[in-house]
Structure 1
Amino acid sequence: MLEKNPPSNRLYHRLNEALQNGSKIWIEVQGDRYAGRPIYLDSEFVEVLCLYAPDKNEAASEPCLSTTWLIRLSQIIAVAYPSEQWSADRFTRLLQAQSPAPEREDPAA
């Protein structure tokens, strides 16, 4: 649930974008890191849902497990969020498309 007058800072806006887009984020606080998708945001807290597959030592009765973290915005040191990922081939094709074609000598000259 979003407030009517949200705070006007970059951290809040980036977290709100991730909340609206369902994007995964990584949050760093003093001594800890959290990863997941924001499911709630207000002027003081962000709630982050982390889904993961159980390891071999955990009960395999559930296909996935979840943890929800409630993190105070004022304690966040850094937030990372994914940007578009390109394969090496896609990047090479883009560079080739941007490069001017090599000039050729006219054999008739």
Structure 2
Amino acid sequence: MAENSFDKLLGRNGELVEERKKQVLAGALEIVQRHCDETPNKMEGIAALFGKRLGEEFKVYHKCRETLKCKITDNGLSFYYDAYGRWWEDSGLLIELLKGEAVIVDE
């Protein structure tokens, strides 16, 4: 059976497509591993995940809480507690953000 141009491009049963997917995934994994090796503290990456920089202030809303002024630091997520006039770390709120149970809101 003669190969047509499509077969040459993709392989007879799409083997080249599957091989390319593997190459792309391997390349992505290599980038992640290199970043992990070069960056022991992942909080900068977590901040970037939400489109923020370390120390940048933003508002977070959770359906069971009021809107809170927050920031991501090297130590995790902190919120400003008005009653005490200081920042408090809250890993639970960070987990809620990651799970979609809390959201960053525009000011």
Decide which structure has greater helix share.
2
Decide which structure has greater strand share.
1
TM-score exceeds 0.5: no
Larger RCO: 1 or 2 (CA < 8 Å, sep 6+): 1
Could you tell me the TM-score, scaled by structure 1's length?
0.36
